[in-house]
Structure 1
Amino acid sequence: MYRRQPAFRIPRCRRPLVHVNRRFISSEKTISNDAQQDFQSLPPDWEDEAPSLSDFTQLPHKDFGKNQLMHTNEEFKRALRGILRQFPPVTYAFAYGSGVFPQSAATASRTTQSPHPNPPEAILKWQKGGGKMIDFILTPRFSQHFHSLNLREHRDHYSLLGSLGSAVVSHVQEKYGAGAYFNPYVIVNGTLIKYAVVNYETLLRDLTEWDTLYFAGRLHKPVKLLHEEPNLRVANQRNLLSAVRCALLLLPQTFTEKELYSTITGLSYQGDPRMQYGSENPKKIDNIVTHQIRNFRYLYHDLIMSLPNIRYAEDSAVRKPGWMENHELDQKMSQDMDPERLANMVRRLPKKFREKVYFQYQNKFGISGHDFQAMLEESKNESSGGILKKQVAGEFDRRIAGEKDIPQMVTKAINQTVKWPSTAQTLKGPLTAGFSKTLRYLKEKREKANTK
């Protein structure tokens, strides 16, 4: 009989194996001593190294990636981890969505009846008496093993597909759509939740290569991490930095802080059929950014400060105590539009996504397939994981940087990346969740979309 494992414990980040000078700021940019206290310095060349880490002591920096750890009160965090403990062991897990962080004023102050039948008091207090279903992403090393154990304990979570066994469930999960298997509208610890299972390698690949943006896009927004793994922390840091670079390629020379975060948030929604066919609130992106601006700043500020081509219009503003808490503040920002800077950003885009951008320009420039492949092979300098060994832009990147239509071409690449995985993931919903739960989910999404 399967015996439940003990509660998950996140290892403490002890002293790193390799000493990093705390005063060192990323080689891409140096700033004044006054500003150093406002962000976490990054070690040199961390993006260009892709070691396989066995524990958190091997991170590039002892506080590396702490920007990913969003604050909630301890009672709510314990309640979420209590839900997580009801499942078989996983390598990585997080809670996300409006049930964790409010996406509108109505969500934050709602007094309607809670959808949870008998939740912990901490969840009721955090959701302020109203509440939403809480979404989870669970990442085991091996999905089939997870489903085998989970089917024994929670057969009622699954549709009729579960009766065919864990091999069929994991096959449907990994071979169709984005690689997720959703079980919505299930009750765990008296709380209504929806959870998706995604294999470790699938998540790692999406974070580093953006092959679907399905999971990477969810992690572009603030989430509540509940169980971590060092390689995925590093991969997500790369994912977040890639999101900033991609957003900059879409933005003009000057923009505001909220415009930057809205562009980042919108990356994974472009091409999503739910946005195109009215199943999502058209104001969703603005609601997310407006009501979570503090968390976005906490998530991205360190990374923004590490880049050489983006700056706040008033550097003094980010040195004022408590500036991150100021919801009324919308700072002006600017980026360096020098072609060499743009070329380096294009080169730094995640592998699979960058290939789609390249393909757009192959068609525009009329480069033959043979010559295009030869050019890519000649300039290839990546490991098997899609991590660059060199950061220098190539000739093709520089040619792209000289074009005026980069925002349009990048947008096309985003649509190509997101559209099919999201569509296929939606289409397999009736099979994995069952028709009644799928109809309920679509109905609630449409109701939200019509909410003003």
Structure 2
Amino acid sequence: MREFPQISYAFAYGSGVFPQTDGSASRPAMSPHPNPPEAILKWQKGGGKMIDFIFATKFTQHFHSLNLNRHRDHYSFLGSFGSSIISHVQDDWGAGAYFNPYITVNGTLIKYGVVNFKTLLRDLSDWDTLYLAGRLHKPVKILTEDPNIRVANQRNLLAAVRCSLLLLPPTFTERQLYTTIASLSYQGDPRMSLGSENPNKVTNIITHQIRNFRMLYHDLIMSLPNVDYGEARALQQGWMEDLKLDRPMAQDMDPAFRGNMVRRLPKSFRQKLYFLYQRKFGISGREFEGMLEASADEDAKGGLKKPVGGPFDRRVAAETDLREMVLKCVNQTVKWPSATQSLKSALTAGPSRTLRYLKEKREKGRENALCDGTIVALLGDEGNESMDSSENTTEDG
């Protein structure tokens, strides 16, 4: 990570890292590197896709101050106002990310988003916006690891499974589960309705990344007592490599189990769901405040409480409109941060790069397939070693 100031946590994501097609579609030649090594050549064969990164830093203004000194050309006109304005735009507008697109690093085209470490940690834990947490619902390449983020992301992934189970019927298939998980952060995203994203995006992600989804979620699924695979074949050796396999799955719809899942949803998201049912059930404000206190994750002394579903959670879980209510909460969580983040990008990227980005996204949205992409050695040997050993999986807990 030598090109940038100190970064606490970083990952690469998107179709430039993981393929969303079979790579057979012909793409125009692109050679941003004058003497490309093998890794860059592989990237070029995928169509020279821009590769997306998220960098988390504990000191936003300090990062931008140093980065402006090193890479003033990465910033739009906002860079002229200094690191204080940039950090304000990053932290206080939209979903808390500041993106610099169309940046060439070691001959490779990238887009990198800078987020505050606490913002990332909070979204993983509470689902404030799902803007960052949703990206980590899908396979990513971890470049720089942090133990606090790792633990928070395990909870984030488990929350994605629970939320998706609340949206699914008693029986479903493995691909339906992963499709539901991958779709969460796109619900309410204005880019999907405006044609700025491929309408088959989620299907492409699951079709070509089913093995990575299995590595990411299998252990978490097995840890839940109310969901299981419907056939023993699922556990046979080598089943993760069978890309055509779509195993049947089933979940227990008992309100006690589902009430526990409701109770264990991330805090901000769970409170949205509670408010919807407060209005539906006609619960008074005072009574509802007491219920929120009783369902808090911490006790009066600040210690963590065991999250067991109470009478209200079980009542919610038994409602026939639970799926619609959960979807409404997902839309409420995603829509405004995504919309304001998109508007903010016009400032952070600048007019010319914004128009270029929108044009390319709309062209992609009209395609039925996106080109193949592979993560490459962009940031030196340190990044290579980290990427090889730190894929976003749950194999070691």
Q: Structure 1 length as normaliser, TM-score?
A: 0.78
What is the SS of the residue equivalent to 2:45?
coil
**Partner of residue 360, structure 1:** 276
Aligned to 1:267: 184
Which of 17, 20, 37 aligns to 1:103? It is 20
The answer as to 2:356 corresponding to 1:440 is yes
Looking at structure 2, the residues matched to 98 and 162 of structure 1 have their Cα atoms a distance apart, in angstroms, of: 29
Distance 2:183 2:26 in 1: 26
Q: 1:367 Cα deviation (Å)?
A: 1.6
Mapped to 1, the partners of 2:22 and 2:354 lie a distance apart of 27
1:289 pairs with one of 203, 206, 211: 206
Which residue number corresponds to residue 52 of structure 1?
none
Partner of 1:91: 8
| 1:140 equivalent among 57, 78, 84 | 57
CA distance in 2, matches of 1:244, 1:100: 23
CA 1:260–1:115 in 2, change beyond 3 Å: closer, same or farther? farther
Compared with structure 1, are the counterparts of its residues 244 and 129 closer, same or farther at alpha carbon in structure 2 (3 Å cutoff)?
closer
User: Is the 2:297–2:307 Cα contact (8 Å) retained in structure 1?
Assistant: no
Q: Say whether the 8 Å CA contact 2:54–2:115 is kept in structure 1.
A: yes
Equivalent of 1:370, from 256, 267, 286? Answer: 286
**Residue equivalent to 1:181:** 98
Contact 2:33 2:106 in 1 (8 A): no
Alignment partners' CA distance in 2, 1:256 and 1:126: 33
How many Å separate the matches in 2 of 1:188 and 1:143?
21
1:214 is matched with 131
Greater CA deviation, 215-224 or 126-135?
A: 126-135
Partner of 1:225: 142
Q: How is 1:25-44 mapped onto 2 (pairs within 5 angstroms)?
A: none
| TM-aligned CA deviation for residue 236 of structure 1 | 0.3
Q: Secondary structure at the match of 2:137?
A: coil
Conservation of the 8 A alpha-carbon contact between 1:255 and 1:332: yes
Residue 123 of structure 1 and its aligned partner are, at CA, apart by: 3.1
Deviation at 1:195, TM superposition (A): 0.3
Q: Decide whether the 8 Å contact of 1:207 with 1:215 is kept in 2.
A: yes
Deviations 1:101-130 (A, max 9, x none): 011224x66453136344542132256352
Inter-partner Cα distance in structure 2 for 1:373 and 1:122: 56
| Inter-partner Cα distance in structure 1 for 2:243 and 2:161 | 21
Alpha-carbon spacing, 1:218–1:129, altered in 2? closer, same or farther (3 Å): closer
Question: Could you tell me which amino acid in structure 1 is paired with residue 199 of structure 2?
Answer: P
* Structure 1 residues 235-246: aligned runs within 5 Å: 235-246=152-163
**Amino acid in structure 1 at the alignment position of 2:258:** L
Q: Following the alignment from structure 2 to structure 1, what is the Cα–Cα distance between the partners of residues 44 and 22?
A: 12
How far apart are the structure 1 equivalents of 2:303 and 2:184? 21
The answer to whether 1:198 aligns with 2:109 is: no
- 1:286 aligned counterpart, secondary structure: helix
Residues 129 and 429 from structure 1, CA distance in 2 versus in 1: closer, same or farther, beyond 3 angstroms?
Answer: closer
Counterpart position of 2:331 = 415
What amino acid is the match of 1:364? Answer: K
Write the deviation string for residues 284-309 of structure 1: whole angstroms up to 9, x where unpaired: 00000000000000000010111101
Mapped contact 1:124–1:130 kept (Cα < 8 A):
no
Question: What is the CA-CA distance between 1:383 and the residue it aligns to?
Answer: 6.7
Question: Which residue of 2 is the match for residue 450 of structure 1?
Answer: 366
Distance 1:378 1:389, change over 3 A: closer
8 Å contact kept, 1:115–1:192? no
Change (3 A) 1:402 1:151: same
Q: Give the unaligned 5+ runs of structure 2.
A: 369-397
> 2:355 and 2:299 mapped to 1: Cα distance?
43
Aligned counterpart in structure 2 of residue 349 of structure 1, from 262, 265, 271: 265
TM-score (ref. length: structure 2): 0.89
Once residues 172 and 93 of structure 2 are traced to their aligned partners in structure 1, the CA distance between those partners, rounded to angstroms, is 38
Cα offset, 1:379, TM superposition: 3.5
* Deviation (angstroms), 1:277: 1.2
Aligned match of 2:221: 304
Higher relative contact order (CA 8 A, sep 6+): 2
CA distance in 2, matches of 1:136, 1:245: 27
Higher alpha-carbon deviation: 213-222 or 426-435: 426-435
Q: Check the 8 A contact 2:346/2:354 in 1, yes or no.
A: yes
Contact persistence 1:312–1:332 (CA under 8 A) = yes
Please report the RMSD computed on the Cα atoms of aligned residues, expressed in angstroms.
1.7
8 Å CA contact retained: 1:99, 1:127: no
Q: CA deviation at 1:200?
A: 0.3
Q: Name the structure 1 match of 2:380.
A: none
Taking structure 1 as reference, are residues 86 and 381 closer, same or farther at Cα in structure 2, changes over 3 Å only?
closer
Q: 1:126 to 1:117 in 2, by over 3 A?
A: closer
Residue 313 of structure 1 corresponds to 230
1:182 & 1:410 partners in 2: Cα distance?
30
Residue type at the aligned position of 2:151: V
How far apart are the structure 1 equivalents of 2:357 and 2:5?
A: 25
Q: Give a deviation string over 1:389-417, Cα, whole Å, max 9, x none.
A: 21211121011011011110000000000
